[in-house]
Structure 1
Amino acid sequence: MQTETVGAATLETWTPEEVARAFAADEIVVIDVRTPQEYMFEHIEGALLAPMAFIDAKKLPGQSDKRILFHCGSGMRSERVARMAIEAGYDRIAHMGGGFGAWKAAQLPYIGTNMGTGAPQRVG
């Protein structure tokens, strides 16, 4: 995990492997900030969808039970949303570096679309 101090807050950038471990242990909530179309095509199983265009960082839940971790396709949008959360008053927030592309490159499991039937299917 890489950390960056942003004012009095800490922005954490997690690797896909760190995300997978923490998510499996129920230590984090993964929020996918991609578009609904991207999410429907392929996504991390169990990740919540909250497209960047619709997020109001001031309305995010607290992190008393689980850390919030954002992810997108490449890490750009999720970092932007994480910085928005810091501006909204969160003092420690995380995103996944490299996004869903890095998740797939690490060969971690996800829900994809069966191109023959259009149905969702587990990959990996």
Structure 2
Amino acid sequence: MNTGQAGGRAAELEGPHQAFQVPRLMVMQWDSGWRVWWCLVECWLSDWLHPCERDIHATHKEYVLRSFSSSQLPETDVSYEKLKKLLATRTSVVIDVREPWELREYGNIPGSINVPLGQVNIALQLNPEEFKEKYGGDMPQPTDHIVFSCLAGIRSQKALDQAVSLGYKDVQHYAGGWQDWAKCEQES
């Protein structure tokens, strides 16, 4: 039996059990595949299956647990009753972020300014004169209290997030939206 350069039984094998040679490298197919399988498992698959087990103690860090209280977070939702009070005292700017056709079709909260959601980011960066000309109301300042509303609270939350990212501090949204407003107005 000819063992070849690598010491295996490569040269005499014929048919499906053949060896081929690449310059400077001999690749052999053994008569059983268990050696190849274990080579894969031991050499390559273990690194792939367990990449985090190496030096886990060397990279382990101690973390300090800190207390958290949700009472420290500002309340972002406004109820129907609170919104009615804010509108009566005129201490807040209410911005309806629905599309104009929605206001024409369904109605709007009295005293609100319509700024569609897609324009909120740009609108809050306009100068006050441009804002008043385009939207028909006074532009809120970063220190003013703003309440965003929409149909059901989804878009108003997005508008709130945009306003906060622009530096507005006292921002809330009417989570019930126009649907809750219309229902509560009919009941009262």
Aligned twin of 1:102: 180
After TM superposition, list the pairs within 5 Å mapping 1:74-113 onto structure 2. Answer: 74-107=152-185
Contiguous gaps of at least 5 residues in structure 1: 110-123
Aligned twin of 1:48: 113
The one-letter amino acid paired with 1:69 is V
| Contact 1:71/1:95 (8 A) holds in 2 | yes
Number of residues of Structure 1 aligned to a counterpart in Structure 2: 103
Distance 1:98 1:4 in 2: 23
Distance 2:101 2:170 in 1: 29
Give the % identical residues. Answer: 26
Deviation, structure 1 residue 38:
0.7
Contiguous gaps of at least 5 residues in structure 2: 1-70, 126-138
Matched, 1:38 2:116: no
Between structure 1 and structure 2, the one with the greater Rg is: 2
The one-letter amino acid paired with 1:93 is V
Distance 1:56 1:45 in 2: 23
Which of 68, 85, 93 is residue 29 of structure 1 equivalent to? 93
Q: CA offsets per residue over residues 37-62 of structure 1, 9 Å max, x none?
A: 01122111221100001111651631
Distance 1:48 1:78 in 2: 13
| Structure showing greater relative contact order (alpha-carbon pairs closer than 8 Å, 6 or more residues apart) | 1
Secondary structure at 1:90 match in 2: coil
Assess, with a 3 A threshold, how the Cα gap between structure 1 residues 33 and 53 changes in structure 2: closer, same or farther.
same
Aligned twin of 1:68: 146
| Structure 1 residue ranges (4+ consecutive) displaced by more than 3 angstroms after TM superposition | none
TM-score for the superposition, normalised by structure 1: 0.72
Deviation, structure 1 residue 17:
1.4
Q: CA offsets per residue over residues 45-94 of structure 1, 9 Å max, x none?
A: 22110000111165163154x41111000000001100111111222211
The one-letter amino acid paired with 1:25 is T
Distance 1:30 1:22 in 2: 9
TM-score for the superposition, normalised by structure 2: 0.49
Distance 1:84 1:108 in 2: 32
Aligned twin of 2:6: none
Distance 1:91 1:27 in 2: 15
